[in-house]
Amino acid sequence: MNILDKIIADKFKEVELKKSLIPVSQLKNSVLFDRKCISLAENLRTGSGIIAEHKRRSPSKSVINQNLNVQDVVKGYEDADVSGISVLTDGKYFGGSLEDLLYARASVNLPVLRKDFMIDEYQILEAKAYGADVILLIAAVLTEKQLIHLANSAKSLGMDVLLEVHNEEELKKSLKVNADMIGVNNRNLKTFEVSIDNSKNLAKLIPDEFVKVSESGISNTEAIADLKNYGYQGFLIGENFMKTDDPGASAREFIRNLKSIG
């Protein structure tokens, strides 16, 4: 069993447990459930293109930064002029929670992505109830039928969908999905090795109707300038900012440099 298989097996148990505790009706009665979502796809087309992430730890890096509270981190990101914010909500492997999502929503007026391993429509309702504007769907763990169903469910709630692929096979089964953005993960989820060549190799196969997003392993502005030549408008950055004492200041400096190179 690789790490991804373990995470998904645990996620099925976690979702079933939550369903037994919190009914869908309770989620739909949340004060945030009827809130109008902010489009991440639109922000990526017109802004800096940076999706900055709040991430405490990961299976590949163990602890990244557990000393900061989510409110300060996301507020710093907003001040840095990011286009959107990604919040890890997986507890066991990433140290996140739905409360992190709630605190992020309360702190900024930017699109917020719930980053988790989505396997059930229940999690989409949760995301909406806790203030997310966008959900992530990972092609590696879902069938084409599941991807279509979950994306349609999110879209019916007014949310954006970021669909993540790792290779050509996953991309092919994603093209019929009602997604706004296709994200190419530069990290191999089985080995955790990273290469931005993955984004370059898949770029020409992604139809123009999707906003192209490059995820993982982006640590300098030169990489972004390079990826823009391949049609990418979104860049998900987590570890590079979170490993510093002040992720907001780190993001601000990064975006300033990005603007200076054009």
Residues designated as active site:
53, 55, 115, 164, 185, 215-216
Residues 6+ away with beta carbon under 8 Å from 154? 124, 127, 135, 160, 161
Strands (E), the chain: 50-54, 57-58, 62-63, 84-88, 112-115, 134-138, 160-165, 181-185, 211-215, 232-237
Cα–Cα dist 124/161, whole Å = 11
DSSP letter assigned to residue 118 = -
Nearest to 151 by CA among 117, 178, 172: 178
CA atoms within 13 A on the CB side of 113: 34
Determine phi and psi for 146, rounding to 5 degrees: -65, -40
